[in-house]
Structure 1
């Protein structure tokens, strides 16, 4: 299994747009953001589309096309970003129903759902505590 990087890349894009706008630029292109993230612009456009659906960014078409934030970085939490780009629960159960005649097969899903529910609750609380302003501040501190 590989780790999911969607939250990290979405946070990268938002921090990049925020910094770019602070430097006096109106809009950022997906190509610029993709270059910074070292990924394909299509990946960035898909994520930005999800962030747009969540109301975190907006796009302009035509001359001067690109992406802008809809609000300040300090009012966007990592939970906002997570909810925009991650669908479904953090952990999943078996694809098929385990053998209900087996004691482990019968009890594993209820046991794990309780554990996973607590972990997800803690994760969401931590993500809600951190803003994109915090992320950009930490990025800039590391870069100095």
Structure 2
């Protein structure tokens, strides 16, 4: 599948929901912060809801809220909820067996790519939405 911006949108939305945790936010409010389209935001929020990271209420005063405490949601949780497939993929078709590089590269890349994805999972798993919100609030206070 390759790289996408879905993770960044999901993490942004989760951080906003954590910031305004005392009230529900609409997809339009989140989209305004993203300078994006509410339809895109609703799709991302739907994936986050399917992963039990957010919940929604309909009607007047409705919107989106976190389903768990911000300290219980990692960046990897958000990533896993919205991304499909592997980030790094091998050749689209088998390389030539007649070439020494072609014969060996796929197996070697598989190990390297799997290790890289494991490192990504571990790194994103160390940071929570609460951690990110703390950094946002600190940065905001320092820029005043």
TM-score with structure 1 setting the length:
0.90
Unaligned runs of 5+ in 2: none
CA shift at 1:3, angstroms? Answer: 5.1
Give 1:28's aligned residue. Answer: 25
Give 2:7's aligned residue. Answer: 7
Aligned to 1:45, which of 42, 60, 63?
A: 42
CA shift at 1:64, angstroms? Answer: 2.5
Q: Does 1:131 align with 2:128?
A: yes
Give 2:16's aligned residue. Answer: 16
Supply the distance in 2 between the matched residues of 1:93 and 1:39 (Cα, whole angstroms). 32
TM-score with structure 2 setting the length:
0.90
Supply the distance in 1 between the matched residues of 2:103 and 2:12 (Cα, whole angstroms). 42
RMSD, aligned CA: 1.5
CA distances 1:97-121 after superposition (whole Å, capped 9, x unpaired): 2222222222111111111111111
Query: After the TM superposition, which segments of 4 or more aligned residues of structure 1 sit over 3 Å from their partners?
Result: none
**What secondary structure sits across from 1:59 in the alignment?**
strand
